[in-house]
Structure 1
Amino acid sequence: MSDERLAVKLPGLDLKNPVMPASGTFGFGENPKYDLNELGAIVVKTTTVEARTGNPNPKIALMDNGVLNAVGLQNPGLEAVIAEKLPSLKQSYPSLPIVGSVGGSSEEDYVEVASRLSQSGYVDALELNISCPNVKKGGMAFGTVPEVAKKLTEEVKKASSVPVYVKLSPNVTDICAIAKAVEEGGADGLTMINTLLGMHIDLKTRKSVLGNLTGGFSGHGVLPVAIRMIYQVAHVCDLPIIGVGGIERPEDIIEMFLAGASAVQVGSAHFDDPLICPHLIEKLPDLMDELQISSLEELRKEVKEAFANEN
């Protein structure tokens, strides 16, 4: 039985709790280790028009303080996702909100994927991935220039029949400028942050531990960066924010909310605990009791009012 105090309402997403796995960390929900109905929602792997094999191996490197990944948006392609992956997920979990993740190498690619996914009837919202640092074409290239991000958001919004969340990159000089640009472009919400571009060299081989040389760094170590950026953006944008980056404990979720987030995604913590999402959901009410938080919706309201009073 779910705790009603955890419920959060976002554009297109009626969440019974704020926890969802981040795109790329959970595939398309195949072979789960628990009942996915426990989740607030699921964000599936980024889909591109054509199937992608991703970057050369090794694609993932586990480190003491986090994870480096350069998967490169590996996925079976739009046709297979619509014909096979999403129908299977929807059939198994008909009441679970599904967020489709949209990728591409060109504006036309993004528009086609967004249009087809939104019209498939299988997704409740889209997440526009303009922040992946591990692909040579597309990805982060669309998320580092405000004018480019705004135009892409506008075009995707025209093509989509469901709400659109834009996933922002931390690898920029001014994330607030990007956030305001996609808000002007019509985005319904934001997801932030994606991974930090990083690299690790093996002392014995004297080579990068990743086949792509560089990759996205994630894990608990990036939490302060995510908190800072969410806090900054929440002060200049009215859009709801889905916070992601370094969440391992229920305390991290509350901190995200205090920074201005309205829901959260969990990624790298799955490497240490495959059941991290249900574990967080189970522990969250006790922490809320301890902190005298009546509900997450009330906390959202209190934070928003506090920010308004600061200005």
Structure 2
Amino acid sequence: MLEIELLGVKMKNPTMLAAGVMGSTAASLNWVSCSGAGAVVTKSFSKMPNKGYKNPTTVEVTGGIINAIGLSSPGVETFKKELESINEEVPKIASIYGASPEEFSQVAGEIEQIVDLIELNISCPHAMSGCGAAIGQDPQLTFDVVEAVKKSVSVPILVKLTPNVTDLPEIALNAQKAGCDGLTLINSLGPGMKIDLETGRPILSNRFGGMSGPAIKPIAIRCVFETYAVADVPLIGVGGISNYHDVVEFLYAGASAVQIGTAIMNHGPEIFAQICQGLEKFMEEHGFQSVNEMVGLAHQF
């Protein structure tokens, strides 16, 4: 009942680990897989090593967390070893980033033979060195990155978009015109910040960071809904999912699958099995035979 096929990749359920949480090593990715996730997404990595920002890099706020890790990365050569050690039973998605179309293409070419999908992170709001949202907020740069990667690899490409734009459908359509196979919506919101009351200092070493967690879910739902109305590629919804009710809402908005990240920090990786159990019961009670029957239901009204 929960099985889906996304861009030719079969998944036992529509849930994935989101990039950035428990995605740095094969051991943690395998743990998530054994906990019930339908697919795993690595932490974003780049061509060359990147130390990222110094601690503190995360802080809890009402409704979620703010983080500014700075896209720390061991580099593609090191990360390839982790990818090769992930359980073969679970579909694996590599999240990659770069400062130019050429860098994205080079990293993608290094890993295409050992992953099922590649997700282009062009949307991190706290990236270093001109990566992340600096690309995803520009329609032409988005097009250029996607086009370059599509020309260099044959594995399906997802593009992770930022909500921090005035016209998200425009960015989505440019990614689609460039040849992307699917879209992931959304990356963290912001940047935002939190200040220590005793010292008066910003808590994060970078001062600003991206917000994730339940507070951003309504925005993520809207972004998926708007994009579904104009795009012709599958959508993956992410942002504030912590129970099966949230998953149903994303599916109704137009997502074919979902990613879960921040909630793992509060509930552990066991949340995948809990969500899938609740989703299956909901489907039985409401007469749904497959997940696909739920996708885009809200657009009927």
Tell me which interval the TM-score lies in, with the shorter structure as reference length: over 0.9
Distance 1:94 1:281, change over 3 A: same
Asked if 1:203 is matched to 2:197, the reply is yes
> Hey, what's the Cα distance between the residues in 2 that align with 1:139 and 1:154?
17
Tell me the C-alpha RMSD between the 2 structures: 1.6
2:187 maps to which residue? 194
TM-score between the two structures when normalised by the length of structure 1? 0.91
> Hey, what's the Cα distance between the residues in 1 that align with 2:167 and 2:265?
31
Shift of 1:34: 5.9
Shift of 1:21: 0.8
Asked if 1:130 is matched to 2:126, the reply is no
1:148 maps to which residue? 141
Aligned length: 296
Q: Is the 8 A contact 1:143 1:168 kept in 2?
A: yes
2:65 maps to which residue? 67
Q: Is the 8 A contact 1:166 1:191 kept in 2?
A: yes
Shift of 1:294: 2.2
2:82 maps to which residue? 85
Q: Is the 8 A contact 2:35 2:272 kept in 1?
A: no
1:293 maps to which residue? 288
Asked if 1:116 is matched to 2:113, the reply is no
> Hey, what's the Cα distance between the residues in 2 that align with 1:181 and 1:18?
26
- Give, as a single letter, the amino acid of the residue that structure 2 aligns with 1:52: N
> Hey, what's the Cα distance between the residues in 1 that align with 2:289 and 2:8?
24
Shift of 1:78: 0.5
Distance 1:184 1:44, change over 3 A: same
TM-score between the two structures when normalised by the length of structure 2? 0.94
> Hey, what's the Cα distance between the residues in 1 that align with 2:88 and 2:55?
36
Shift of 1:75: 1.9
> Identical aligned pairs, as a percentage?
39
> Hey, what's the Cα distance between the residues in 2 that align with 1:18 and 1:261?
10
> Hey, what's the Cα distance between the residues in 2 that align with 1:225 and 1:38?
27
1:278 maps to which residue? 273
Shift of 1:298: 2.1
Shift of 1:30: 1.9
Choose the corresponding residue for 1:96, options 90, 102, 105.
Answer: 90
Choose the corresponding residue for 2:12, options 5, 9, 16.
Answer: 16
Q: What stretches of structure 1 of length at least 5 have no aligned partner?
A: none
Provide, for residues 252-307 of structure 1, a one-character-per-residue CA deviation record: whole Å limited to 9, x for no partner.
0000000000000001001111121222122211122233322202223x63xx74
Moved more, 232-241 or 274-283: 274-283
- Give, as a single letter, the amino acid of the residue that structure 1 aligns with 2:208: T
Shift of 1:203: 1.6
Provide, for residues 210-240 of structure 1, a one-character-per-residue CA deviation record: whole Å limited to 9, x for no partner.
1111101000111000000100000011110
> Hey, what's the Cα distance between the residues in 2 that align with 1:47 and 1:33?
20
2:158 maps to which residue? 165
Distance 1:207 1:12, change over 3 A: farther
Distance 1:233 1:62, change over 3 A: same
> Hey, what's the Cα distance between the residues in 2 that align with 1:262 and 1:188?
13
2:3 maps to which residue? 7
Q: What stretches of structure 2 of length at least 5 have no aligned partner?
A: none
Distance 1:279 1:73, change over 3 A: same
Provide, for residues 119-165 of structure 1, a one-character-per-residue CA deviation record: whole Å limited to 9, x for no partner.
xx220010000001111321111100111101111001111220000
Q: Secondary structure at the match of 1:46?
A: coil
Moved more, 271-280 or 217-226: 271-280
- Give, as a single letter, the amino acid of the residue that structure 1 aligns with 2:68: A
2:250 maps to which residue? 256
- Give, as a single letter, the amino acid of the residue that structure 2 aligns with 1:30: A
Q: Is the 8 A contact 1:37 1:96 kept in 2?
A: no
Shift of 1:64: 3.2
Provide, for residues 65-103 of structure 1, a one-character-per-residue CA deviation record: whole Å limited to 9, x for no partner.
201111111121100111x211111xxx11210001111
> Hey, what's the Cα distance between the residues in 2 that align with 1:203 and 1:153?
43
- Give, as a single letter, the amino acid of the residue that structure 1 aligns with 2:198: K
Q: Is the 8 A contact 1:117 1:123 kept in 2?
A: yes
